[in-house]
Amino acid sequence: MGKFAAESAHEQASSIAWPDLPAAHQPNWPEAAELEMVRRELETRPPLVFAGECDQLTADLAQVSRGEAFVLMGGDCAETFAANTADSIRARLKTVLQMAVILTYGARMPVVKVGRMAGQYFK
């Protein structure tokens, strides 16, 4: 077992000083002041994913690794910013949920649903 195996995602994240970690693949940011302004703004926003959701995903993927569940990953590989609207995300989510119902029925096991959405925002 690894060092963090018994810790939850929240415990792990709380023990790390994120700004102190190396960022090896950062682009050159020509406007340092603007970058800092955006970073400060993002710090005030709620998280996109909560620690409890990460813990649940870890448990769900452990089921998958034991052959007790099936993973369904859906979404675009590289959607454009313009196409990433609430309606398009809702439609993709609906499709993933419909596929999961079929897989759950056919495989007779739980389906872990993973959405590949808004990936361009992470890059």
Q: What is the pLDDT of residues 8-19, one digit of tens each?
A: 666 666 667 777
Q: Is residue 106 part of a domain?
A: yes
Q: Is residue 5 part of a domain?
A: no
Distance CA 71, CA 97 (A): 12
Q: Is residue 18 part of a domain?
A: no
Q: Which amino acid is at 116?
A: R
Q: Is residue 35 part of a domain?
A: yes
Q: Is residue 33 part of a domain?
A: yes
Q: Is residue 58 part of a domain?
A: yes
- Structural domain containing residue 111: 29-122
Q: Is residue 11 part of a domain?
A: no
Q: Is residue 70 part of a domain?
A: yes
pLDDT, residue 67, reads 97
The pTM (predicted TM-score) of the whole model is: 0.65
What's the total number of domains in the chain?
A: 1
* Region 34-59 average pLDDT: 91
Beta bridge pairs of residue 115: 74
- CA distances 26 to 29, 30, 40, Å, are 8, 12, 18
Closest to 92 measured CA to CA, from 83, 105, 102: 83
